Amino acid sequence: MVIQEIVGVNRHIKSVCDGYTHDGYLAIAPALFDRYQKNVDLGYSPDDIAKGRELKAKAQTDAALKDIAAAREAAAHAGNVSVIGYKVGTVPGFGD
């Protein structure tokens, strides 16, 4: 399972999934912002990052965990499920 960056399930996250698939794994990336705006696919410009931060501010932890659990269930038939995540926002002490 590939957890999105603050810019949504964009071309980068899709390419990460494609890479895992190419290596023989099932890869799934839950779209954690779909509850707030469908099909978020932002780039890395300052405006896109600002939009991602707006969506992140709307995002509820419980809803994200439900989406991640649903993705896990969808992938469970393939065997063990692992998670890799990308930065969804600023973590205090780790830079901006």
Domain housing 25: 2-85
Residue at 13 is within a domain: yes
44 assigned to some structural domain:
yes
Could you tell me if residue 19 is inside a domain? yes
90 pLDDT above the threshold of 60? no
15-24 contact pairs (CB < 8 A, 24+): 16/84
Inter-residue contact 43 to 8 (CB < 8 Å): no
- pLDDT over 90 (residue 33): yes
The per-residue pLDDT for 74 is: 94
pLDDT (tens digit, 9 = 90+) per residue, 63-84?
999 999 999 999 999 999 999 8
> For residues 27 and 29, what is the distance between their CA atoms, to the nearest angstrom?
7
- Report the pLDDT averaged over residues 45-55: 91
Whether residue 95 is contained in a domain is answered as: no
Residue 92 belongs to some domain of the structure: no
Task: Write down the pTM of the prediction.
Answer: 0.83
Whether the predicted pLDDT of 88 surpasses 90? no
Give domain status of residue 48, yes or no. yes
Helix (H) or strand (E) holding 70: helix 61-75
**CA pair distance 41, 31, nearest whole angstrom:** 10
With DSSP H G I counted as helix, E B as strand and the rest as coil, what are the percentages for the chain, rounded to 5?
45, 5, 50
Q: Read off the DSSP letter of residue 5.
A: B
Calpha distance 18→21 (Å, rounded): 5
- Taking residues 23-35, report their average pLDDT: 95
Residue tagged 């964009």 (tokens): 10
Residue 22 falls inside a structural domain: yes
Domains held by the chain: number? 1
90 falls within a domain: no
Q: Residue 13: pLDDT above 90?
A: yes
